[in-house]
């Protein structure tokens, strides 16, 4: 049940300091010589750390995490997933490195997934799926012309991967994109911040809100 889904629809050199001549400290400065050093400001790398980096951190025993995947309903809908053998398909065709990393390094078997219909009016989350197989080489990356994997990939160290998803249940009512945008408690969803990604993490609080909205 392989249906291609594109991920895109979505060290600085330190400058030398100027040498300074040593000068004798004035007497008034001796009183402040033992003054404690000022606290260092956070590094730029820490300030720019991704707010969803938590999805790559070790998990507590039994911990489940949450995700959202997008598919155009004309290509592969939630109904198609539900009608598939064992209600399961491989989620292939992702060609965005950020989305790939979420699948490859973040998703684990048992994680729950919101299924989002994109490129339709209205766009909406329509059901829940589950990860049943963790990342493995994406068969749609195989180049039959060159008998290898695209972009320097190979089966032992693939550039592109896929996971297997199984349909759990449809929502009683779709949760539309305008409804999501109207909720203040969903304002920081990755779906809204980086809309081009076909695979994104969802926090536990966001999951609770969305599933309650979907009935």
Question: 13-48 pLDDT, tens per residue?
Answer: 333 333 333 444 444 444 444 544 444 444 444 334
CB distance 206 to 186 below 8 Å: yes
**Half-sphere exposure for 113 (CA within 13 Å, toward CB):** 33
Q: Which residue blocks in 104-166 are alpha helix, DSSP H?
A: none
d(CA 174, CA 211): 10
- 3-state DSSP helix/strand/coil % of the chain, to nearest 5: 30, 25, 45
Q: Which range has the worst mean pLDDT, 8-12, 72-76, 77-81, 195-199?
A: 8-12
Work out the average pLDDT over 64-86: 97
State the pLDDT at residue 21: 37
Q: Which residue has the tokens 């695979």?
A: 199
Sorted by where each starts, the structural domains of the chain and their CATH numbers stand as 68-213 (3.10.590.10)
CB distance 137 to 149 below 8 Å: yes
Question: 98-128 pLDDT, tens per residue?
Answer: 999 999 999 999 999 999 999 999 999 999 9
Question: 118-155 pLDDT, tens per residue?
Answer: 999 999 999 999 999 999 999 887 654 444 455 555 66
Question: What is Dmax (Cα atoms) for the chain?
Answer: 85
């Amino acid at each position: 049940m392989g249906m291609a889904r594109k991920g895109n629809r979505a060290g600085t050199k330190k400058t030398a300091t100027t040498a300074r001549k040593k000068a004798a400290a004035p007497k008034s400065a001796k009183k402040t010589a033992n003054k404690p050093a000022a606290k260092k400001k956070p590094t730029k790398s820490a300030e720019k750390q991704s707010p969803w980096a938590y999805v790559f951190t070790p998990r507590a025993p039994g911990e489940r995490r949450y995700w959202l995947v997008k598919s155009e309903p004309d290509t592969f809908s939630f109904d198609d997933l539900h009608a598939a053998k064992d209600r399961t398909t491989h989620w292939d065709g992702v060609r965005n490195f950020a989305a790939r990393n979420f699948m490859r390094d973040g998703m684990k078997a048992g994680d729950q997934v919101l299924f989002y219909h994109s490129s339709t009016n209205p766009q909406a989350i329509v059901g829940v799926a589950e990860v049943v197989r963790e990342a493995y080489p994406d068969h749609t990356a195989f180049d039959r012309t060159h008998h290898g994997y695209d972009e320097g990939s190979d089966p032992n160290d693939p550039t592109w991967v896929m996971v297997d998803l199984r349909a759990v249940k449809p929502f009683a009512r779709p949760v539309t994109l305008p409804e999501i945008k109207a909720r203040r408690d969903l304002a920081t969803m990755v779906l809204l911040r980086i809309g081009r990604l076909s695979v994104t993490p969802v926090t536990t609080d966001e999951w609770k809100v969305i599933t309650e909205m979907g009935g």
